[in-house]
Structure 1
Amino acid sequence: MKKIFSIFSLILLSIVDFVAFAQTQRFPRPEFESGYTQPVTSMPEPRAGIFALVDVLLLIAALSLITWFIHKKRSRTGVVVTSLFSLVYFGFLREGCVCSVGSVQNVVLALFNPGYHIPLSALAFFVIPLVYTLFFGRTFCAGVCPLGAVQDVFLLRPVSLKKWLQKVLGLIPWIYLGLAILYAATGTDFIICRYDPFVGIFRFNATFFMFAIGAAFLLISVFIARPYCRFLCPYGVILNLVSRVSKKHLTITPASCIQCKLCENSCPLDAINKPVEVKQMEDKRSATRRFILLGMIIPALMIIGGWVVSNFHENLAMVNSKVRLANELLHFDSNTMEESLEIEGFRTSGKTNEELYLESATILKQFYYGSWMLGAFVGLVFGLSLAGLTRYKYREDYEPDKGECVSCARCLKYCPVEK
């Protein structure tokens, strides 16, 4: 089996090398007679149609392969091999772009901006992992996402976090997702890509600040399994929701659980639900009272959240370059201040200050309504999280949490039924 995996790895790496070589041959860098030196770009060059298709096909192939390893072969080794391939190809060779995590922003921008035509490859990278997750659980997270793969490489001495701390930190990705949607919908920025802690490492051009952030995540990954995936990734929470209703999901044992408890602490992500004893049924009156109370609390949290965040809509809008420039012009004093490069560039654009102020006012209005929705969304998430804590679920066996489990297959080797 190990020989098969080794041969398979060599074949995949050969394909990757061929694709990279073919791309450089098809699109060679131009040669200048004047001695001009080609600058080093901070973003990867646009992909030609055929190579974008190769990316999508390799994504489907990797997802199909790792799904087969997880559900059919139940092989952790196969997951690791696929994970290494994804890290090499989708991470370092493709420089983290196109990325399913960042594609959320492309989809949002396409929905809110009719003038933006989303690349089909970006749409495919957004939709395809969701489809696989709907049928097979989070197999994309298991070893196809390069962000998860690079963290897995550093996991050496996993430790468990307190449940309450996991719940609190688990709210952060929802907030991050809401902010990413707000900034993408207003055409302000793709903050998921801008502040991706690993993409600069994949491209070997990270700023010191982003390199430090990425290095910190990798250092934390030595002890805390996949900190970015669990406590920051906005695409991960979408996959979490979809996976909860997945048709087929990884199971710890291929047959009936024998309650041996060997797998109890095997998951570094703490994504194994333990058996829960039968609890006395809640009487109908108490259940009705709890339901009514939650029905009042959740809308209240949404209103409070919307009001609080809307009070900071101007601060949130300052990320937008036009709003920031309009604010700078509004407070600019030519007698005591020197013009910035942004103001100098605006002077040469031919636009008037009034036109810029009008655009800025429109964007601020978008942020006002958007911040209300963002706050309401955060309030809803917080309220539903509280409701989840009061929900009782009887469980006989050790089962993976269908939302939190990333199908890494680590728990499989602990089950004696496998042997």
Structure 2
Amino acid sequence: MKRYVVPPLGGFSRAGSLWTSRLKAVLHTLAYVFLFCGVANAEFRFPMPEFASGYEHPAVHTPIPSNAMVGWDVAVLIAALALASFLVLKRRKRREIFLLTMFSMIYFGFVRNGCVCSVGSVQNVMAGICDPAYGVPLTVLIFFAAPLIFALLFGRVFCAAVCPLGAIQEAVAIKPVKVPPAVEKVLSVFPYIYLGLAMLSVAMGSGFLICQYDPFVGVFRMGASFSMLIFGGIMLVLGIFVARPYCRFLCPYGVLLNWCSKLSRRHAVITPTDCIQCGLCADSCPYNAINEPTPAEAPEARSKGAWRLGVLILLLPVLTALGFGVGGLLKEPLSRLHPTVQLAERIAGEELGRYEGTNIESEAFRASDTPNEELYAEAVELKAGYGRGGRWLGAFIGLVIGCKLISVSILRKREGYEPDRGTCYSCGRCFKYCPVKE
């Protein structure tokens, strides 16, 4: 029987280099995030005029799924999740898992045009929380909750073979290569940023960002804006060499699945018996989702590990507070997600001669004979709301970064190769490479 031993706090003596390298990788995240924030603000060095008064802009359209076939969609979702769980945990056949993946891509993607989508459902749920008048359809609630419940029970089987966005990327992952772990650690923060931005956008009435910038909806529906078709094409071409780039480095729903899968009652295992530590599974996994055995060396002093962990725990509220402050500085660029602010700044720019002529939106506004001051007043109110929301978004990202620093600083005892419960997609690639079959 495989034995799992929890080491003294702080990890192992090899950690001197191992945990430090991991810590450095995540520290780079801070630099990337602050650089991103600086670039986002660069375009707006010169403030627009201050606005003053309550133009009522029409409500932003948020998509809802078609009522047709909703019962059938739910039945297919539950059946696909159940079958994926059986194939991953019992059958352990990569070919069968892949066939189910292709079915999900065809049905949920091309037949149902990518809607209802579990990834986008987080926005509907957030809209229902923020606006009691917004009724979240039962089908959307099921599509939101069912994959999370299955993740709590069996791991990320939704990602394995049910999600159409993951399926289309799995189909093109012909020659995937490994992303350096340091880069993976840095990029793993961006799904949290995207999730926070999407929730802020819904709360402020800016629309559904996840649906608006879905890179594959144009493929599934055979039509989209030129820029989104280019974005989707780039993601698919990139997916030939970097497996599932959207799932790993952007998908906001993946954050929730990650959390649930870490607590899963059962999860895919690489080998049904004792690991012989051949390393073939780790070589076959393009997602860096397999943890290697820890070296059989004497652990470092408990006091040293405890001191390091204590410092990082004390750093956690500092990073949260720092993110809170930086998030407030993003009021201007974040507010430009809202069409009312965009229109107000366009009108102001035209009045100041910064633009030549008008566009469709400004022409429609001027035709309404609404005073500019009313539009400016609403824009000011929205910017204040984005300032408050930006602070909480920054605090959330700071907390995420702090937790990642803590997680990479602690080495856990492993006697064999094991899937990372949070990041493993249960795709079954490692099954066929493991020489231990029974």
TM, length-normalised to structure 1 = 0.84
* 1:404 pairs with one of 423, 427, 434: 423
Alpha-carbon distance in 2 for matches of 1:412, 1:284: 37
8 A Cα contact 1:138 1:405, kept in partner: yes
- Listed as ranges, the matches of 1:106-125 within 5 Å are 106-125=124-143
How far residue 375 of structure 1 moved from its aligned partner, in angstroms, is 0.8
8 A Cα contact 2:170 2:244, kept in partner: yes
8 A Cα contact 2:270 2:430, kept in partner: yes
Percent identity reads 45
- CA 1:206/1:261 → structure 2, altered by over 3 Å: closer, same or farther? same
What's the counterpart of residue 388 of structure 1?
Answer: 407
Alpha-carbon distance in 2 for matches of 1:45, 1:284: 54
Worse-superposed segment, 404-413 or 250-259: 250-259
1:247 equivalent in alignment to 2:262: no
Alpha-carbon distance in 1 for matches of 2:190, 2:66: 33
What's the counterpart of residue 51 of structure 2?
Answer: none
8 A Cα contact 1:44 1:95, kept in partner: no
SS at structure 1 position matched to 2:416: coil
Alpha-carbon distance in 2 for matches of 1:371, 1:242: 26
- CA 1:351/1:110 → structure 2, altered by over 3 Å: closer, same or farther? farther
- In the TM superposition, what whole-angstrom CA distance separates every residue of 1:139-193 from its partner, at most 9, and x where no partner exists? 0000100111111111111211211011111111111111111111111021111
8 A Cα contact 1:44 1:97, kept in partner: no
Superposition RMSD in Å = 2.1
Alpha-carbon distance in 2 for matches of 1:340, 1:81: 49
1:377 equivalent in alignment to 2:396: yes
What's the counterpart of residue 11 of structure 1?
Answer: none
How far residue 279 of structure 1 moved from its aligned partner, in angstroms, is 4.5
- Listed as ranges, the matches of 1:93-242 within 5 Å are 93-242=111-260
Q: Which amino acid aligns with 1:407?
A: S
- Listed as ranges, the matches of 1:32-47 within 5 Å are 46-47=65-66
Q: Which amino acid aligns with 1:285?
A: S
* Structure 1 segments (4+ residues) deviating >6 Å: none
TM, length-normalised to structure 2 = 0.81
What's the counterpart of residue 271 of structure 1?
Answer: 289
- In the TM superposition, what whole-angstrom CA distance separates every residue of 1:250-286 from its partner, at most 9, and x where no partner exists? 0111122233333231212121111112453443433
Q: Which amino acid aligns with 2:259?
A: L
8 A Cα contact 2:235 2:245, kept in partner: yes
8 A Cα contact 1:90 1:146, kept in partner: yes
**How many residues are paired up?**
376
Q: Which has the higher contact order (CA 8 A, sep 6+)?
A: 2
Alpha-carbon distance in 2 for matches of 1:118, 1:363: 25
What's the counterpart of residue 274 of structure 2?
Answer: 256
- In the TM superposition, what whole-angstrom CA distance separates every residue of 1:114-140 from its partner, at most 9, and x where no partner exists? 221112222211111000000000000
Structure 1 unmatched runs, 5+: 1-42
Structure 2 unmatched runs, 5+: 1-61
8 A Cα contact 1:186 1:367, kept in partner: yes
Alpha-carbon distance in 1 for matches of 2:122, 2:340: 23
How far residue 352 of structure 1 moved from its aligned partner, in angstroms, is 4.1
8 A Cα contact 2:113 2:221, kept in partner: yes
Q: Which amino acid aligns with 2:395?
A: A
How far residue 318 of structure 1 moved from its aligned partner, in angstroms, is 1.0
What's the counterpart of residue 14 of structure 1?
Answer: none
